[in-house]
Amino acid sequence: MELLSPAGNVEKLKYAYQYGADAAYIGLHSFSLRAKADNFGQDEASEIARIKGDKKLFCALNIYFHNQDLKRLEESLESFEAYPFDAFIISDMGIVRTLQKHFPGRDLHLSTQANALNSESAKLYRDLGFKRIILGRECSLKEIEEIRQAVPDVELETFVHGAMCLAYSGRCFLSKWMIDRSANEGSCAHSCRWDFRPMEGPANTEMVLEEKQRPGEYYPIYEGDGFTSILSSKDICMIDHLKDLKDAGIDSLKIEGRMKSIYYTAIVTRAYRKMIESLEGKDIPDLDGYRDEIFKVSHRKFSTGFYYGRDEIEQAAEKPEKAQYKFLGSIGRAAGNGLYELDVKNQIFPGEELEYIGPDLLYTADSSFSLETPEGEPMTKADHGKPCLIKPGVPVEEGFILRKKWQH
């Protein structure tokens, strides 16, 4: 099975590949549903090609296009040629012929936003020229198996980890999530009109909504520049169920999170890579340790989504939601004399105990490192955005990530 990881910018793309992704998906400015991710500009094509190597790269063009968007797309097509895309992820059928005309050698993948949930839809999209279908998140394992048996000549992709949005445009999951009545199937219970009250969340760190008839079930409220959104109270996590997905006929396992940090990208990608390799028969030392690392990244309570039906949706893993570690930065290029460039994300002080993680290194501790300026002057701390070199007290490699335990 292919492991497909998110990349919100060039840096995340590098870590997705380095930590085990077979493929990554990115967005271009103005044409991706993750408009608030950094996304990619036209000047980054050569760097992306260098990082990609022989891996795969998919481009998300999965907005729903208005007429003015179609015009902008036509004007941008020439610039797309510079990118080493293997496929386009789309949801709007209005751009199919345009992409097939201008990029006949590149595949089309149907976005999950198109809500493909049955065999007949899969056959139709295959006949339209789609090589892969990213199944709607309401699909159960049984339905996936039925689609695979009915349409063996199309690739099937599904989300295995990350946030599950309750709504996008008219494609609302709120009613389905709360009482198993799907708006996409004409059975909306109008859950958005029920009696909710805003309140401070259990950790006193965010605002949530609580429905009158469901005390203790919280729906976080996110506010940003010009928007307020309510997301699912749980994240999908299928780390322990990859064999079931393989047996059902899934070709590609997709991780959500183009707006997450490189720490999230690395940890989650690595965990799924190790589990896939174990499933394929490879002996993985510290397999349970790699798996458990995903619980150390900040997350909402985990569930298995809709894969096993309603009962499973309500079962969350008994793991902490708060991050156990603070992401500090990453190791850059070797600078000679045992020194490495250091990309600092949060303050680092000599003498504190750090941990390094790598693609094949679960973690190792270091409290004997030193910091200095590029000119060789000792530093008493490293700050985000300031040039810094580190002399580790243990062996490290470029791309290793630094963290330390939170003092909650």
Percent of the chain with pLDDT over 70: 86
Parallel, antiparallel or unpaired: strands 234-237 and 155-163: antiparallel
* Model confidence at 300: pLDDT above 60: yes
Q: From the options 3.20.20.70, 3.40.640.10, 2.170.190.11, 3.90.76.10, give the CATH code of 2-163+235-313.
A: 3.20.20.70
Q: How far apart are CA 37 and CA 25, in angstroms?
A: 12
Q: In the prediction, which pLDDT does 183 show?
A: 62
Q: Is the torsion defined by CA of 208, 214, 216, 217 positive or negative? A: negative
* pLDDT at site 319: 43
Distance CA(253)–CA(237), nearest Å, equals 11
Domain 325-405: CATH class, spelled out: mainly beta
Here the tokens at position 254 are: 């997709």
Q: Determine contact, residues 7/28, Cβ cutoff 8 Å.
A: no
**Range in 59-68, 88-97, 137-146 the model is least confident about:** 59-68
pLDDT at residue 320, rounded to an integer:
41
- pLDDT tens digits along 154-189: 999 999 999 776 554 446 667 777 888 876 555 778
Q: What is the mean pLDDT of residues 279-305?
A: 91
pLDDT at residue 169, as a whole number? 40
Residues 256-281 have a mean pLDDT of 95
Is 108 a residue whose pLDDT tops 70? Answer: yes
Please report the pLDDT score of residue 316 as a whole number: 41
Lowest mean pLDDT among 21-35, 280-294, 331-345: 21-35
pLDDT digits (tens, 9 = 90+) for 316-375: 444 446 678 999 999 999 999 999 999 999 999 999 999 999 999 999 999 999 999 999
pLDDT at residue 406 in the model = 82
What per-residue confidence (pLDDT) applies to 32?
A: 59
Check residue 34 and give its pLDDT.
Answer: 52
Q: Where are the domains of the chain?
A: 2-163+235-313, 325-405
Task: Say if residue 388's pLDDT is above 60.
Answer: yes
Which pLDDT belongs to residue 244? 98
pLDDT of the residue at 321: 61
Distance from the Cα of residue 105 to its chain's centroid:
27
CB 160 within 8 Å of CB 273: no
Query: What pLDDT is stored for residue 234 in this prediction?
Result: 74
Task: Return mean pLDDT, the chain.
Answer: 87
- Is pLDDT above 90 for 123? yes
Confidence at residue 379, expressed as pLDDT on a 0 to 100 scale: 96
pLDDT of residue 36 exceeding 50, the answer is no
Q: What is the pLDDT of residues 242-262, one digit of tens each?
A: 999 999 999 999 999 888 899
- Per-residue confidence (pLDDT) for residue 243, from 0 to 100: 98
Once rounded to an integer, what is the mean pLDDT over residues 116-120?
A: 95
pLDDT of residue 28: 79
pLDDT at res. 226: 46
pLDDT at 205 (0 to 100): 58
Whole-model pTM: value is 0.84
State the Cα–Cα distance between residues 5 and 96, nearest whole angstrom.
24
Residue 272 has pLDDT above 50, yes or no: yes
Report pLDDT for 23.
Answer: 98
Q: How is residue 315 written in tokens?
A: 């079962």
- Which is nearest to 32 in space by CA: 64, 66, 9, 70? 64
